[in-house]
Every structure is written in structure tokens, then in C-alpha cells.
A and B are shown apart, each in its own frame.
Chain A
């Protein structure tokens, strides 16, 4: 019997420490090298879209919190923009500022956490992850003070935000935001030039520009491959054109670039936050139309129409597609989940690499199973 070329089929998941939830990779190994890899999704399917078609537009907001549970505020924001387009609602200026502040804080939360998780996937004993969580907690405290909940915020509404932030909140936020670059410096000192991390991450899972565009990858993953596409710049939704920030781009498109892009994006987010916290005007946090809608969700009956609202969520393009038939519930409610679309190239990235690389490639894609499976 010859054992040469005998392949080993390993099922990584659905219960595996590093699949970020109930996700499964059926890998075929030649020694330790991956020859074939099939992602299996759907273990966390929760009928999100179907539920959304059965309840009012406002009623979907708490469910969007649970899509990508790391960035509830951004998810709310995306749906709010779609509903505003559908119903012709405009947001109050303070509301827009608050939404941008929340969305950028969410980006900080998400990117620190995902960097921590990526390092955990590389085998660090939780240290970067816990540093990330230490800082994340501070921002979650801010979310709690504003919305009443740390993760399931349900805060952003069409027309603005549900409640104005409490007194002192902006001052606390400013303190935390101003401290954030120091934390990032420390974090980078721990990680960026670490030779082990470079060895592990550089040239691993290279995503070419062409493949990234063809597979409609979005978010930091696309920009790490060097494609200049940021919906904040492209669409200029909300008040983003008012702020000055840069879109960092990677050159290689490997795991290391995807890590480093996130660090650079956080620095840009801090810049946006500082501007927003400085310029935020007084006034109502929500426009009258939005407030009326929040008070009585069933009175909101948009005319027969369709709308697609999208934002640059921390993970990529988060889009909500709504079709109205004139009733209080949407006729069709669809979510374009960035995690799900970004995950489709997993096999292309992994083939030819080792098992250990597959894990960190998955980690660098930054998925949340709540969003992948919906």
C-alpha cells in the first residue's frame, strides 16, 4: 500500500475554537497543506429577513442589532438610511452627527476586537484580545450611557437617534477618543513589528485586486488589496463629506495588510470623531417625522417603492434593500451582509497554505456568524 498522496479530510467546526461561532470548514489536507476547502454556513440561520417582512419598519431595528453583534450601531444606521430613502425622511443635523459618532465608535470597537481575535487565532494566549477588550469596554460604557445597552443598542432611528445623549456624554466621549491613539500606539508596539506576527501574516492569504473586485469584496479587506473604495467617500452619505479623513490602502492584500489597514482605519476614525465631537451642533436629536414614526410605527406607510440604503460598516458594505407595498410592513426586506460576501473567497485564499494559515485567514476576513447566516 502506498501512502503517498493520501489526503486527510478534516472538518474544522462547527464546534471548533477558532471558527468564530458555528461555522464549518471542510478542509482536505495533504500533510498540513490545504488542497481543498469548503465553507459550510447556515448553522446560525435565524430568519432575519423573513421576520423583517412580518413586522413594522421600526420593529426591525432591534433585530439588526443582532446581525453583526459587534457593531449594532452601524447596523441600525444602515437600516435607518434605507428607511429614510424609502420614506423621504430627512434627519436632523444633531442626529446625523450623533449617528456618525456612534458609527465611528463602532468601527473602533469592531476593529480592535477583530485584531485581538486575529491574534488569538495566531495562538497568542489572549493578551492582545484582552487589551482590545479593555479599550472596547470603555466605548461600550459610552453606548450604555447613550442608549441603555452595551451591545444591543437599538439607538439609531430614521431621522436621527432615539434619544439625545445625556449631559456630559460628549465630554466623556472626547476623553476616550483622545486617549485612543495612545492605546493604538501601545497595541502597535505589541504587534506591528513583532517578527513572529510578520512571519505568520505576511504573504499569507494574498487576495489579488482582480479577485477582490470580482468577488465584490468590500470593506477593509478590499482596501487591503489596494482598491480605493470606501462608501463614506463614494456615496458621501449622511454628513461624511464634511469631515476630512483619508482612506488607507494596502499594497499586498495579505493577512498582515488586512491587520494593518484596520489599525490605520482606526486612526482615521479617531480623526473623524474628533472633528465630529468638536462641531456637533445643538438642536433636536431626531427630526419630527422620524420622532412621529418612532412613536407610532404603524403610521409609517411608505408609498409603493423600493430603496437600497448602504453604509460603510466596519466589515464592509452593509446594505438594506426594502420594497414597500404601501403597508406598514416591508414587502421585501433583504440584507446585503458584508461578512457573508467577504467569506466567499475563503477557499481561494486558503488553498496551498497550511491549516494554521487557514485559521488566521478566516480571522482576518473578520466574520460574525450572526451576519453571515442571518
Chain B
């Protein structure tokens, strides 16, 4: 039996497994396989996202990050998980215990559901819905309920303040988020995630004026929807202790974290799907990647020598086995997603958070008009799509409206003079 190609590395075994069952049961089995795969992968993604975030932020702050548990702290997520599991589970006195317990579950469930329509690779999608894009927005907005439920059920002032902020924020940012995705539907002509990726075969949407603007708006509102710095109002640890999850502990607290990280990952993945060409990428030979990877491992000082030798050899062998193949689509997808995750972490490592009213102002006074104008720009671009005029017009409209909007609501103008005079 020959090795499957890289492209179908995960699909082949799934098909083989499905074919073990009788014809009539196969649709159900393939659903089961998809659910099983997502349920297995999602917690892993979340655990290592925490590790990645801690490592990257630490490096931005001249620190090592976790190093004590396992090599490079690689077992830290496991240790954290274990710690969370054995912590006491406390519900405050007077809390609505049922809702208090339900809220984190309600937060995690949609975060995992989001993975269903994610096209991880050319053939790797759990459910290619023809309303994939709508599905994403519908499901991801459920988190507002969870946040409010958790905050309200905790019966704590900090929680309720955080929850109110959370609801206001999630609802506000949904509007520019959806409107920025409208242009994707317009140009791609479909709402299916696979269709959108395929529509970017010639040119990624980010490489057009409207796509660039829409991508940034989508990403920003995504960041705001998953409550991450600089938009982490509902949690706001310096003001509200921990916001809506102040009164959570143990595994429930871990679930909140899981929801946050999974949604963050999902937002990055959907931004890749909608604007960064999804799983498409230039046809770079696979062996280039293995050579680079093995060089990285061979020079990793903290690994023991046998591990380094074995890992390097394995990687090089893989490169030899699939020497003729390009880098597979799922690797491109993951690489792009993690690049966006890096940006997310980078933002968190750099910025303080905005204030509640400023946050709302950004959504309603800046992102929303920009998203609306962007629809016009995309239309113009499409109308003259084969000529220079479309590019020029849409870029000009967007730049002009950017300036006008800044002028209209830039609050800090008078300080320019004061600042420069102070020297």
C-alpha cells in the first residue's frame, strides 16, 4: 500500500474508516467522524493557543514565558488543565446556580460549532453549508448571551458591569463585522466558505482596496467580539477584576478561557478564509519546509541530542517521501491562521485597552460608516473590474472617506500643538 499524498493525509483515513460501514450508515458515520475530529482537535488548539500566547507575549516583554514544565514549557497547558480540574468549584452565595453553571457551557458550544464550516484544506471541511458565512455570524453572536448569563448569574457587581459591557460590545461590533463581510458575498457570489475560498483563486481579496479595508474591519470587529485587548472591556482586569468571569473558578473558569481562545482562533481562521485566500498558497515544494524545520530543530539548544537527531531525521525523511509534492493546502491554512494569531497576540502585547464609550464610538462612528462606504467601493470595483478605473475609484473613495471620518471625530487634535511646543 502506498502512502497517501500530503493533500489527502487526513481525508484518506477518514474515508477508509467510513467504508468499513454499510452503505446506509455511511452519511451518519462521516458526520460522526467530523464531530469526533473537531471535538478532539478543538481543546488541543485551545491549550496550545494559551502556550503560544504566553510564549510570544513573554518574548515581547524580554521574558522566557513558561519553561518549567517540559521542554520549552510544552507541557504547561496540560499542567494548567490539571490544576483547573482539581480546583474547588465555587458558586457565590445568592448566585443563580443553574445559570451560573450553564453560562460557560453556552459559551464553549458555539465556539466549537464554528469549526464546522471552516475549510481547513481543499477537502477538509466538516459541513460545506451554502450559508457558511451567515452561519459564522449567527453562531458567534450567541456568546453575548453566555456573557450576560454568566455575569448576571454570578450576582456580583463587577460581573454585572462586565456583562453589560460585553453585551453592548458584542452587539455593536457585529454590525460592522457583518457589513464588512457583505462585500465578500458580493464579489464571491456565494456564502459557502468553500465557494469564497475558490473565488480567491486569482487574487486574494485582501489584495484589493475594498478587501483590504473590509479585512481590517472584519478583523478588528472580530477581535472586539472575542473580547481581546485592546477591546477586552468585559474582562478589564484592571478595572473590573475579571469582569463577567470574576466569580468563576475551577473548570468553569477554564471553559470561559476555552471559549475565548477558540473564538479567537476561529476569528483568525475566518479572516483567512474570507480575505487571505483560505487554503490556497503558492506551490512551494514540501521539502523546502522540511529542510527549514529540521534546521530549526537541529539548532534548538534545549532539546536533548537524541531527540534532535531523531526529529531532524524524521522531518528530512518526510521531505524525501513527499519530495515531489507542494506544501499541502491545510498547512497553508494553518500557517496563515497562526500568522493572524500572532497579530492578535502582538496587539495584546502592545496596547492598553480603550474605554467603553470610545470603544462604542469606534464601532458606530468609524467602522460602521467605513464598512458602508466599502460596499460602494466594492461595487465600483466590480463594475469596472477589468480596468484601472475600478481600482482607482474604489481606492480613492476609501482614502477620502477615511480622512473625512478621522476629521469628523478625531478628539485629540488640539493636543498636537501642545505636545510639540513642550518639546
- Which residues of A pack against B, CB within 8 Å? 8-10, 16-18, 29, 32, 119-127, 130-131, 134, 190, 192, 194-200, 202-203, 248, 250-252, 256, 260, 264, 354-357, 359
Contacts of A256 in B (CB 8 A): 415
CB neighbors of A among B333-366 (8 A):
348-358
Q: How far is the CB of A134 from chain B (nearest CB, A)?
A: 5
Partner of B412, one of A199, A264, A355: A199
Contacts of A203 in B (CB 8 A): 411
A122 to B229, CA, bound (A): 11
B62 touches A190 (CB 8 A): no
A355 touches B161 (CB 8 A): yes
A199 touches B351 (CB 8 A): no
Are A125 and B57 CB-contacts (below 8 A) given A198-B415, A354-B357? yes
Across the two chains, which residue of chain B brings its CB closest to A250? B422
Binds A, one of B175-183, B208-216, B232-240: B232-240
Are A356 and B356 CB-contacts (below 8 A) given A127-B350, A134-B62, A195-B412? yes
Partner of A123, one of B60, B61, B352: B352
Query: Contact mask B158-196 → A, CB, 8 Å, 1/0?
Result: 100100010000000000000000000000000000000
A-B pairs under 8 A by CB, number: 101
B62 touches A123 (CB 8 A): no
Which of A8, A203, A256, A356 has the most B CB atoms < 10 Å from its CB? A356
Further contacts, 6 of them, CB under 8 A, given A9-B157, A32-B161, A252-B418: A17-B238, A32-B356, A123-B232, A123-B237, A202-B411, A248-B422
Q: How far is the CB of A245 from chain B (nearest CB, A)?
A: 15
A10 touches B158 (CB 8 A): yes
A126 touches B61 (CB 8 A): yes
Contacts of B353 in A (CB 8 A): 122-124, 196, 356
* 6 residue pairs bridging A and B, Cβ less than 8 Å apart: A123-B232, A124-B353, A194-B352, A199-B358, A260-B422, A354-B355
Are A355 and B239 CB-contacts (below 8 A) given A124-B351, A125-B348? yes
A125 to B53, CA, bound (A): 12
CB neighbors of A among B22-79 (8 A):
57, 60-63
A125 touches B418 (CB 8 A): no
Partner of B237, one of A17, A197, A252, A357: A17
Partner of A130, one of B61, B352, B356, B415: B61
A18 to B349, CA, bound (A): 19
Contacts of A127 in B (CB 8 A): 57, 60-61, 349-350
Contacts of B240 in A (CB 8 A): 355
Contacts of B422 in A (CB 8 A): 248, 250-251, 260, 264
A199 touches B62 (CB 8 A): no
Quick check: is B230 within 8 A (CB to CB) of the other chain? yes
Partner of A196, one of B61, B354, B357: B354
Quick check: is B241 within 8 A (CB to CB) of the other chain? yes
A251 to B422, CA, bound (A): 9
Closest 3 A/B residue pairs (Cβ): A123-B353, A122-B352, A130-B61
Contacts of A194 in B (CB 8 A): 351-352
Partner of A121, one of B158, B238, B356: B238
B357 touches A123 (CB 8 A): no
Across the two chains, which residue of chain A brings its CB closest to B233? A356
Query: Contact mask B397-418 → A, CB, 8 Å, 1/0?
Result: 0000000000000011001001
A200 to B361, CA, bound (A): 13
A197 to B57, CA, bound (A): 20
Partner of B239, one of A9, A18, A252, A260: A18
Partner of B241, one of A16, A125, A192, A196: A16
Across the two chains, which residue of chain A brings its CB closest to B242? A17
Which of A125, A126, A196, A354 has the most B CB atoms < 10 Å from its CB? A125
Q: How far is the CB of B58 from chain A (nearest CB, A)?
A: 9
Contacts of B354 in A (CB 8 A): 196, 199-200
A359 touches B415 (CB 8 A): no
Are A125 and B63 CB-contacts (below 8 A) given A260-B422, A356-B239, A359-B239? no
Contacts of A357 in B (CB 8 A): 355
B411 touches A199 (CB 8 A): yes
Q: How far is the CB of A213 from chain B (nearest CB, A)?
A: 21
Contacts of B355 in A (CB 8 A): 199-200, 354, 356-357
Q: How far is the CB of A206 from chain B (nearest CB, A)?
A: 13
Across the two chains, which residue of chain B brings its CB closest to A16? B241
Across the two chains, which residue of chain B brings its CB closest to A254? B415
Across the two chains, which residue of chain A brings its CB closest to B240? A355
Contacts of B57 in A (CB 8 A): 125, 127
